[in-house]
Amino acid sequence: MALNATFVASIKHSGKASGNKHSDGHGLYLHVTTTGKYWRMGYRFDGKQKTLALGVYPATSLANARDGRTKARSLLAEGVDPSLAKRLEKVAKKQAGGNTFEAIALEWHCTKVSGWSITHAETTMERMKKNVLPWIGKRPLTSIEAPEVLSTLRRIESRGAIDTTHRVKSIISNVFRYAIATGRAVRNPASDVGVALKTTVKGHHPAITEPKRFAQMLRDIDVYSGSIITRAALKIHALTFQRPNEVSDMEWSEVDLEAGVWVIPAVRMKGNLERKKHGAKHTVPLSTQAVAVLKDLYPLTGHSIKVFPSERGQGRSISENTARQALRSMGYLDHVPHGFRASARTLIREALHYDTEVIERQLSHGSDEELGGAYDRTQFMLERAKMMQSWSDYLDELRTGAKVIPLRGVA
C-alpha cells in the first residue's frame, strides 16, 4: 500500500536494530532507524540487487522521493545504473564548483602576476573584487553569456566610470581566453559586448595653465581647511609635478632634506616590470620651498614610513583620489593631481623659458640610459636643480600677484 504524508510524519522507530522499512511501491521505501528516516529505492541492475539513496526526511518529502524514483526508473529503462548516474552527477557538480568564474579568474591572475608590477597586480585584483566577483564570481564560467557580462559592466558604466568599464571588460575577456586555452571554455562572451558599451573619450588630464587661475588655486591650497597631510601633498604636487602615485606613496627614506633631493626608486616609477626591476631611479631636486613643506610635516608623520600616510593606517598612504577630492572641494573641477604636470610643463616653458628637454627629463619622460648616465649626473642635474628652484620662486610670485604674465594665445 502506498504511503501518505501523515504516516511518514508520524511513524516511529519500533526499536528493531536493523530499523523498519515501509514500502511505497516500485522499489521506494522509507527506512526508519534510531537516527532518522531515510528514503531508499531497491532495484536490480546487471543481475545484481542495489540500493539508491534518495534523501532524508523531512528535508526530502514524500513527493520529492517519488520524483527521485521516477527519474531512477527512467534511467533503468534506458539501461543506465541510477547509482552510477548519481555519482557522476556529484563529480560534475564538484568540477563545476572548481570552474566558477572566480576560481578561473584567480588562477589566471596567479599565472600572470609574475610578469606584472605590484601596482598592476593589485589594481587588477581590486577591480575584479569590486566590479566582477560579487555578481558573477560564483557562477560556472561556461554558463555565463554575453547579456550577463554586459549587465555586470553596466553597473560600472552607470557610475560614469567609462574607462574603468572598458578595463574591467578586458579583464573578463582575458579570464575567458585563459579558460579557452586551458580547455575549460570554448568561447569568449565578453568579446561580444563591446559594441553595447559607451565609448571611452580619450583626452588630456584636466589642468589649469592660465597664470591667474593657477595663482588663485595656489592661494586656496594654502588656506585649505581639510587635512594638514592632504594640504602638504597638494603643495608637493605643485612644487615637484611628479606623477600622483609617486607623490602619494612618497616615503621618508627616499628624501634627503639636508641635500634637498628626493630619489624615487625604479620600482615606483611608471613602466613595465623589467624597467621597475632594473631601470634607473629618478632623482627630483627639491627647492627650498619644497624642503620647507616637508620639514614642517615631519613632526606629524616622520614616525611613519609614508610621508603622506592614510588615516586608515596599516602602512597605507593617501590615494590620488584624496588630493583630487580636495581640489574639487575648493571648486577646481578642471584640475586634477596629474594636471600639475601639464601646468608646470606649460608655465615653465612659456614663463621661465627653460629648454624642453630639461623639463621633459624632470617629468621623467625618457630614461637615464637614453640621455646618458654621465651627462645626466652633470649638466642635467644642475639644470634641473636650478629650474626647480626657479619654478618654486615663480609660484611664490604668482601667489602675491607680482609676476602674472599672460601666456601667448591666452586672453
Query: Which residue type occupies 367?
Result: S
Q: How far apart are CA 306 and CA 318, in angstroms?
A: 9
Strands of the sheet containing 261-264, edge to edge, are 255-256, 261-264, 282-285
Residue 130: active-site member: no
Question: Residue 186 is placed in which grid cell?
Answer: 570554448
The answer, as to whether pTM is greater than 0.75, is no
Q: How far apart are CA 95 and CA 100, in angstroms?
A: 9
Residue 375: active-site member: yes
For domain 5-94, give the CATH number. 3.30.160.390
pLDDT at 272 (0 to 100): 59
104 to each of 10, 54, 283, how far by Cα in Å? 48, 33, 41
- Fold classified for 101-196: DNA polymerase; domain 1 (1.10.150)
Residue 127: active-site member: no
What are the residue boundaries of the structural domains of the chain, listed by start? 5-94, 101-196, 211-400
Write down how long the chain is.
Answer: 411
Query: Which residue type occupies 374?
Result: A
- Report the top-level CATH class of 211-400: mainly alpha
Contacts of 228 (CB under 8 A, 6+ apart): 297, 300
Catalytic residue among 341, 345, 361, 384: 341
- Tens digits of pLDDT across the chain (411 residues): 789 999 999 999 988 989 999 999 999 999 999 999 999 999 999 889 999 999 999 999 999 999 999 999 999 999 889 998 888 777 666 655 568 999 999 999 999 888 787 778 888 999 999 999 999 999 999 999 999 999 999 999 998 888 889 999 999 999 999 999 998 888 999 988 988 988 865 556 778 999 999 999 999 999 999 999 999 999 999 999 999 999 999 999 999 999 999 999 888 877 656 666 667 888 999 999 999 999 999 999 999 999 999 987 767 899 888 999 999 999 998 898 989 999 999 999 999 999 888 998 888 875 444 444 444 444 478 999 999 999 999 999 999 886 655 555 444
Side-chain half-sphere exposure of 86, counting CA atoms within 13 A: 13
Catalytic residue among 277, 375, 377, 386: 375
Residue 38: active-site member: no
Contacts of 128 (CB under 8 A, 6+ apart): 105, 109, 168, 171
Q: What is the SS3 assignment for 49?
A: strand
Nearest alpha-carbon partner for 240 in 347, 363, 354, 326: 363
Catalytic residue among 66, 237, 243, 335: 243
123-129: long-range pairs with CB below 8 Å, 24+: 124/171, 127/164, 127/167, 127/168, 127/171, 128/168, 128/171
pLDDT at 273 (0 to 100): 61
pLDDT at 115 (0 to 100): 79
Same CATH topology for 5-94 and 211-400?
Answer: no
Residue 338: active-site member: yes
Catalytic residue among 90, 159, 205, 365: 365
Residue 341: active-site member: yes
Question: Residue 205 is placed in which grid cell?
Answer: 588630464
Catalytic residue among 338, 345, 361, 384: 338
pLDDT at 367 (0 to 100): 46
